[in-house]
């Protein structure tokens, strides 16, 4: 049975302020937890209902295990329908951009993405297409937001998510910058080469004015129908697919 202080601490991790203070974030669901256990991330503790114990991996040395009932799990979970198991994970040390490591490959660059579901889907998409780095403006939603973590479906443990001021980063990165714009060359006729940065803008305002001049190759996904805009996570998937295809 969990103590009141345990419940209070875990519930506090629903908020960014307390995740940042403690250096701990939450993941839920057996698939995601298994992925993190088998990664370089350090699992702090696991809270499981009896029905899910047999599904946990066997390599749980140095991880604190707590059996909980459904009512306790509902108190600490961020989900409307908890998935039977929840884990607390130590945040890794803040990463800095290693310019040399970006050479010879493509990376996604996100300018103030605000929706955690969109962000998580972009990370998952990057993982699917083998893109290792997602570089974010400092105002992009937090990678350890529970909705972001949930949306990545475990991919967060395989993709480097790095926060940095984008203006100086793009100015110093000696790589082509492909900007996702409404007015640019047709994505299906774009020559990608072997490396570059794919710059995607905010859901409502697009790429910020200060970064537009850093774009070397503006690219657009041609609109065939009447929709006003395209979801940024969908745009990211189309860009990733075209890069790998071409």
pLDDT along the chain (246 residues), means of 10: 95 98 97 95 96 92 94 96 96 93 97 97 98 98 98 97 97 96 96 97 95 97 93 97 90
Q: Which of 245, 187, 240 is nearest to 218 (CA)?
A: 187
Q: Which of 47, 240, 77, 70 is nearest to 159 (CA)?
A: 240
Helix (H) or strand (E) holding 109: strand 106-110
Taking the C-alpha atoms of residue 41 and residue 202, their distance in angstroms, rounded to an integer, is: 29
Distances (CA, A) of 145 to 26, 118, 233: 8, 12, 17
Specify the pLDDT at position 246: 65
Name every residue whose Cβ is closer than 8 Å to that of residue 239 and which is 6 or more positions away in sequence: 108, 178, 180, 187, 198, 200, 219
Q: Which of 120, 102, 121, 119 is nearest to 111 (CA)?
A: 119
Burial of 226 (0-12, 13-18, 19+ CB in 10 A): exposed
**Which residues on neighbouring strands pair with residue 186, listed in sequence order?**
220
Q: Which of 199, 203, 219, 221 is nearest to 211 (CA)?
A: 199
Residue showing tokens 């605000």: 114
Give, as one character, the DSSP assignment of residue 62. T
- Phi/psi of residue 197, nearest 5 degrees: -120, 130
Specify the pLDDT at position 26: 98
Specify the pLDDT at position 61: 87
Specify the pLDDT at position 48: 97
Taking the C-alpha atoms of residue 44 and residue 49, their distance in angstroms, rounded to an integer, is: 17
Strands 24-28 and 85-90: antiparallel
Strand order of the β-sheet with 217-220 is 160-163, 133-136, 106-110, 196-200, 177-186, 217-220
Q: Which of 126, 195, 208, 124 is nearest to 166 (CA)?
A: 208
Using only C-alpha atoms, the chain has a radius of gyration, in whole angstroms, of: 20
């Amino acid at each position: 049975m969990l103590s009141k202080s345990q419940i209070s601490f875990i519930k506090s991790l629903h908020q960014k302020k307390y995740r940042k203070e403690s250096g701990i974030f939450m993941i839920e669901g057996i698939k995601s937890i298994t992925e993190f256990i088998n990664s370089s991330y350090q699992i702090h503790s696991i809270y499981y209902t009896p029905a899910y114990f047999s599904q946990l991996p066997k390599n749980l040395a140095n991880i604190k295990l707590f059996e909980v009932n459904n009512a306790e799990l509902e108190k600490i979970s961020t989900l409307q329908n908890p998935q039977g198991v929840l884990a607390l994970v130590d945040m890794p040390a803040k990463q800095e951009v290693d310019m040399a490591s970006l050479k010879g490959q493509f990376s996604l660059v996100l300018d103030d993405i605000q929706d955690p579901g969109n962000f998580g889907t972009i990370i998952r998409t990057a993982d699917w297409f083998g893109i290792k780095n997602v570089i974010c403006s400092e105002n992009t939603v937090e990678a350890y937001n529970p909705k972001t973590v949930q949306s990545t479906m475990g991919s967060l443990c395989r993709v480097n998510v790095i926060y940095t001021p984008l203006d100086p980063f793009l100015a110093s990165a000696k790589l082509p910058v492909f900007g996702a714009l409404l007015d640019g060359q047709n994505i299906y006729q774009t020559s990608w080469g072997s490396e570059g940065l794919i710059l995607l803008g905010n859901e409502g305002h697009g790429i910020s004015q200060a970064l537009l001049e850093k774009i070397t190759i503006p690219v657009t996904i041609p609109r065939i129908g009447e929709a006003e805009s395209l979801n940024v996570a969908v745009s990211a998937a189309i860009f990733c697919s075209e890069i790998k295809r071409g």
